[in-house]
Amino acid sequence: MSKSFDVVVIGAGTGGYVAAIRASQLGKTVAVVERQSALGGTCLIWGCIPTKALLEHAHALKVIQQASEWGVTIPSGTPAINMTQVHARKDKIVDGLTKGIAFLFKKNKITWIKGTARLAGPGKVEVFEGDTQTLEAKEIVIATGSSPRSVAAVTIDHRRIITSDEAIHLKEVPKSLVIMGSGAVGVEFASIYRRFGSEVTIIELVNRLVPVEDEAVSTELEKSFKKQGITVLTGTKVAKATSTPSGVTVEAHPPDGKTQTISADVLLVATGRGPVTTGLGAEEAGIKMERGYIKVDELYRTSVPGVSAIGDVITLGTGVHPQLAHVSSMEGIITAERIAGKAVQPINYDHVPGCTYCDPEIGSVGLTEARASERGYDVRIGTFPFGVLGRGRMAGELEGFVKIVADRKYDEVLGVHMIGPRSTELVAEAVLALRLECTVEELIKTIHAHPTFSEAVGEAAHAAHGAAIHM
Ligand SMILES: Cc1cc2nc3c(=O)[nH]c(=O)nc-3n(C[C@H](O)[C@H](O)[C@H](O)COP(=O)(O)OP(=O)(O)OC[C@H]3O[C@@H](n4cnc5c(N)ncnc54)[C@H](O)[C@@H]3O)c2cc1C
């Protein structure tokens, strides 16, 4: 027997479940096919939530380790982390949030069909879970996401050579950890395990950490990581990694050409994620693909009418599509609204905030100084350090800065890049500033409460006009 819905969404990650809720709010009958035993996808189960929970534990440990600075006396002994309790707390958070999505599905009358979905002809989705059932859909939304991928030289064995999927569950803190790749995932795990007590080496092929960020941010992070005792090898290629019964041996080629051999307990491969489309039948259904990703237009329509795709699994064919939870959710909302006949606008991907929750945190939006220059802007910069602020000193948070990239001609804010305390929260103001095509002058005239970290945004705007008040 087949069941009919207005919309069938494949995948209940942050793209799929948000698309489903929005479509239901707009009066559509909706089913979501998800093969995992919980809803929420990568973000809730393996990504944003468990990693940020671990980072909160690392932060708690940091505060306790620095207790004497706060005048807090700790009875004798060294503060230590108990991984069993850490995982129990983290897993409880994940469990609560995934159940929260199940509750939202009930509230919005969304049918969750557990199983693996495959496109089975126009308007048809087959679902396998023990037996097979066929769903009929006026519209299909593919939101099958991504999974970790390695490079040719390194084979993941999930024991000694692991991905983020295993790194969130390590029962013991490894004595030594090598991390390959310094994107958001790499540097977040570097912060977590360094604080937990591991000897951490981070290897990055490009000549700086967090290569997508503004260069000044990369330099500041490297300075801080080195101060924390993290070994940073940039411009270095991992040529080989071999698992042994007791650990892993990594052969690296640094820029000086001399081969370096590093032994460690664990190698974490954080070199990016690839699209999940195996068994989906996308190509057989005539959907145009590009490098394994599903090709969509600016409103997430695939080449097959009635089939849309959103989130980590897509490419717009215009450079790298950001694999971020909030991007997938916004794409889900736009897709649901388009399907429901509402007028929608494409996303401006220059206005997508990027947050990296390493220590110190990074928040950024818009053009970096280098990219603004490449696009031909007459660039003007304003930078202000957190350490000068009263709030920074009270919190003992003296690292980092806010950097504003602006266009000299029209005074428009083109990008804001920050590294330091609460940067992942402070960036929200910058996102709105870009969305509203704000000028530096408007940011200067925006009153920033005192004493707050947000004063650094206002002061960076003043600095862009050559007139920082407190510097
Ligand atoms: C360690 C880590 C940390 C991260 N931290 C952040 C962060 O802090 N902030 C942020 O914005 N992003 C973060 N991300 C990225 C974020 O998790 C992803 O961008 C986001 O989850 C993508 O959502 P999605 O809906 O496209 O896909 P996914 O969340 O991957 O969901 C896809 C779902 O589809 C299901 N599925 C796949 N194929 C089928 C099929 N054939 N049938 C049925 N079900 C199927 C899968 O089981 C999965 O549940 C992080 C990622 C990782 C790995």
Ramachandran quadrant class, 115 (left: phi over 0; alpha: psi -120 to 50; beta: rest): left
Which residues' Cβ are closer than 6 Å to ligand 1? 10-16, 33-36, 41-43, 46-48, 51, 116-117, 143-146, 164, 185, 276, 280, 311-312, 323-326, 328
Residue 1 has pLDDT above 60, yes or no: no
| Residue 257 banded pLDDT, cuts 50, 70, 90 | confident
Q: Mean pLDDT over residues 300-319, rounded? A: 96
Q: Which helix (H) or strand (E) holds 5?
A: strand 3-10
Residue 292 has pLDDT above 70, yes or no: yes
**Ligand 1 atom closest to residue 148's alpha carbon, by position in its atom list:** 53
Q: Mean pLDDT over residues 5-15, rounded? A: 98
Percentage with pLDDT > 70 across the chain = 100
- Expressed in angstroms and rounded, the spacing between residue 147 Cα and the centre of ligand 1 is 8
Gap between the Cα atoms of 172 and 103, Å rounded: 34
How many CB atoms neighbour CB 179 within 10 A? 27
Gap between the Cα atoms of 390 and 412, Å rounded: 29
Gap between the Cα atoms of 26 and 30, Å rounded: 10
| Residue 442 banded pLDDT, cuts 50, 70, 90 | very high
- Residue having the nearest C-alpha atom to atom 52 of ligand 1: 47
pLDDT in tens, 206-223: 999 999 999 999 999 999
pLDDT score, position 335: 98
Q: Mean pLDDT over residues 101-122, rounded? A: 97
Gap between the Cα atoms of 349 and 162, Å rounded: 31
Gap between the Cα atoms of 275 and 283, Å rounded: 13
- Expressed in angstroms and rounded, the spacing between residue 50 Cα and the centre of ligand 1 is 13
In the annotation, is 450 catalytic? yes
Gap between the Cα atoms of 463 and 380, Å rounded: 10
Amino acid identity, position 115: G
- Expressed in angstroms and rounded, the spacing between residue 384 Cα and the centre of ligand 1 is 35
Gap between the Cα atoms of 97 and 376, Å rounded: 45
| Residue 78 banded pLDDT, cuts 50, 70, 90 | confident
**Ligand 1 atom closest to residue 16's alpha carbon, by position in its atom list:** 25
**Ligand 1 atom closest to residue 325's alpha carbon, by position in its atom list:** 11
**237-248 exposure pattern, b = at least 16 Cβ within 10 A, e = fewer:** bbeebebeeebb
Query: Which residues lie across from 148 on neighbouring strands?
Result: 273
- Residue having the nearest C-alpha atom to atom 30 of ligand 1: 145
Q: Are 129 and 114 in contact (CB under 8 A)?
A: yes
Determine the straight-line distance between the first and last CA of the chain, rounded to whole angstroms: 72
| Residue 422 banded pLDDT, cuts 50, 70, 90 | very high
Q: Mean pLDDT over residues 136-142, rounded? A: 98
pLDDT score, position 287: 98
Gap between the Cα atoms of 85 and 406, Å rounded: 46
DSSP state, residue 322:
P
Residue 424 has pLDDT above 90, yes or no: yes
Mean pLDDT of the chain: 97
Helices (runs of H) and strands (runs of E) counted in the chain: 13, 25
Query: Which of 8, 10, 34, 43 to mutate to test ligand 1, by most ligand atoms within 8 A of the CB atom?
Result: 43
pLDDT score, position 2: 61
Out of 326, 450, 465, 470, the active site residue is 450
pLDDT in tens, 226-241: 999 999 999 999 999 9
| Residue 165 banded pLDDT, cuts 50, 70, 90 | very high
**Ligand 1 atom closest to residue 168's alpha carbon, by position in its atom list:** 1
Residue 118 has pLDDT above 70, yes or no: yes
- Expressed in angstroms and rounded, the spacing between residue 13 Cα and the centre of ligand 1 is 5
Closest residue by Cα to residue 402 from 349, 461, 343: 461
- Expressed in angstroms and rounded, the spacing between residue 16 Cα and the centre of ligand 1 is 9
